[in-house]
Amino acid sequence: MAHDGAMGEGILELAQELAEVSRLVEDDDVATTLGRFVSRVVNTVPDCEEASITVLLRGEAEIVARYHKTADAQAEPVRATLAEQLVAPGGPLHDALTYGEPRRVADLASDQRWPEFDAAAINAGYRSCLFLPLPGVSEAPAAFSLFSAKQDAFDSTSYDLVLLFALHAGVAFDNVQLFNDSRSLIEQLRTALATRTVIGQAQGVLMHRYGITTSVAFDVLKRASQDSNVKLRQLSEEFVEAQNQGRLSEALRRYGLRSGE
């Protein structure tokens, strides 16, 4: 019974961990959000020394988040070499991204499938690794890369744990994209609304000045915009500002329109 209680507490802690790491924060971007995942994976998955998330964009792999358990300036050159081999075509990560299938190397020293990658990983101090696609990512294929200094790391228990992180990372990846797309759409709508508002104000200025209808005022604005090669919104802003500053006649003449006085 005590064992069941400990397991329940462990599951609860993991659920809280995943909920926290998946939470979007204001102004989060993809790198920031996924950066939380790779650091939590390294600190949670047994024997994991390094983790990264890579995205396949237009056929080229790009590391968007990477975390090491230890900061070692002397190890940076070999880690940089490993990163180059990691994203190189024909390696295990590229296979995982291309085919959407996991790739696992239990012993880098005896593996013969990817010799250049294996050598770079061994030089970086690793003996085993795992590559796991992120499920549900819609924009571009993405995958976890995990490295361990121990041979035969990432057994079935660790694999299931990484899979949970991968599921949540995939959802977070899509949510960040959706969040950013939504925010971009809102800004576009705000811009469109502001544009429509200032054009309406400019129409009102012309209607009052010339005694014309709304549609005729819009035609006047559009024709002046085309003739002067000035955007309709910019032209409308100038007319509204000129009206407020008492120099509307000058602004109208500048665009070839009669003053109306």
Describe the strand order of the beta sheet including 60-68 as a list of residue ranges: 60-68, 50-57, 142-148, 128-133, 103-105
Count CB atoms within 10 A of the CB of residue 119: 15
pLDDT value, residue 259: 66
Determine the angle formed by the axes of helices 76-87 and 115-123, rounding to 10 degrees: 160
What is the per-residue pLDDT across 172-216, written as a single tens digit (0 to 9) for each?
555 545 445 545 544 554 666 577 788 888 888 888 888 888 888
pLDDT by residue for the chain (261 residues), tens digit each? 443 343 334 444 554 554 454 444 444 455 666 777 788 888 888 899 999 988 887 788 888 788 898 877 777 889 999 999 999 999 999 999 889 888 999 999 999 999 999 999 999 999 999 998 877 655 678 888 999 999 998 876 666 666 666 665 655 555 545 445 545 544 554 666 577 788 888 888 888 888 888 888 888 888 888 888 888 888 889 899 988 888 888 888 888 888 665
Ranges of each domain in the chain: 12-179, 183-254
Q: Does the structural domain 183-254 have CATH classification 3.90.110.10? A: no
47 in helix, strand or coil? coil
0.85 exceeded by pTM:
no
Q: Spelled out in words, what is the top-level CATH class assigned to the domain 12-179?
A: alpha beta
What is the per-residue pLDDT across 30-51, written as a single tens digit (0 to 9) for each?
566 677 778 888 888 889 999 9
